[in-house]
Amino acid sequence: MSRVLAGPEAIAAGIAAMRAGRPVAFPTETVYGLGASALDEDAVRAVFALKGRPSSNPLIVHVSEIEMARTLVSEWTEQADLIARAFWPGPVTIVLNKSKTVPDAVSAGGQTVAVRCPRHPVALALIEAFGGPMVGPSANPSGWISPTTPEHVLAGFPGEDLIIIDGGACHAGIESTVLDLSAAEPRILRPGVIGAQALSVTLGEQVALDPVTDPAAPARSPGLLGAHYQPRTPCRLVETGQLASTPQQTAVLSWSRDDHPRGGALIGLPADAEGYAAGLYDAMHRADAGRADEIWIEHPPVNHADEHGAIWVAVLERLARATKSG
């Protein structure tokens, strides 16, 4: 049986499990991750196996400070230093050319490694106490909704013998921005809370957003293809005007309504970007746990012009993939 633990004993139990090569779920400011020693190839393989993740999809390596990140890359570039000093600890993952220290299993055979220093105090305490870099994919079965609470992790891995370190509900609620600095031009491979504009200002050059929705574009981040973040219940993005005709058996995620037009399940979401992002995965988990035969998600009240425009870009990317069929 999996166990949710808190406090210093949770860190100690987590480290004991990781030293024995077993994955441990831990909180970050974005979503919960599945931790294991990034330098232990067998432990890394155990993470792929637990998630059911294709071995072609590389893992992010979590560090507690810049010095630890330097050991993982062939060159800690000036660009990387600018970004890390501006945003770490925080939700930006930096892709750089890897050093020989990083096992091929982590990079999925590729020449690059993704490094991230999380802001959550429990995550930082865990990495520091462990004393080395940790892989940390989101703590969900591959393709399913990412977890933002210990309960979500439990729901994803029922019957596993997994230690889940409790850090409460994740603050940001969606995964980190993945910024590729390994090529000539900086590029966002996965949008997140930190957006293109903030990154461009810090780097002093334009950071482009990978056209993830463009099927003709060459994929640079193998995990960013097609359907993902999906509830098991079929999910659809609808306009506010369509909600009045929601069937009774359809669960609704809505920011504009308080009740379901036919008395069915309605889960409310805040209308502001930060609140919406923080609550989205929990709302999807709750809708998925019910008996609805479909989930309708009301198109969010996106405002690209305000200071939180980047969060809406990230939310729309997650919604597009959560509702994508095939």
Among 149, 221, 246, 254, binds ligand TXA (CB under 6 A): 221
Are residues 264 and 282 in contact, defined by beta-carbon separation less than 8 angstroms? no
Among 223, 231, 279, 300, binds ligand TXA (CB under 6 A): 223
Q: Check binding of 64 to ligand TXA (CB under 6 A).
A: no
CB of 170 to ligand TXA, least distance (A): 9
Give the burial string for 231-249 (b: 16+ CB within 10 Å, else e).
Answer: bebebebbeeeebeebeee
Q: Check binding of 28 to ligand TXA (CB under 6 A).
A: yes
Q: Check binding of 60 to ligand TXA (CB under 6 A).
A: yes
Nearer to Mg ion, 64 or 138 (CB): 138
**74 binding partner (options Mg ion, ligand TXA, none; Cβ < 5 to 8 Å by kind):** none
CB of 236 to ligand TXA, least distance (A): 24
Among 64, 107, 138, 177, binds Mg ion (CB under 5 A): 138
Q: For residue 294, which of 271, 317, 264 has the smallest C-alpha distance?
A: 264
Amino acid letter for position 17: A
Annotate each residue in 75-114 with x if it binds ligand TXA (CB under 6 A) or - if it does not, as one string: ----------------x-x-x-----------x--x-xxx
Please state whether 190 falls in left (phi above 0), alpha (psi between -120 and 50) or beta. beta
Name 216's Cβ contacts closer than 8 Å, sequence gap at least 6: none
Give the burial string for 278-316 (b: 16+ CB within 10 Å, else e).
Answer: bbbbbbbbbbbeeebebbbbbebebeeeeebbbbbbbbb
Site residues, ligand TXA (CB under 6 A)? 28, 30-31, 33, 57-60, 91, 93, 95, 107, 110, 112-114, 116, 118, 136-138, 175-176, 178, 189-190, 221-224
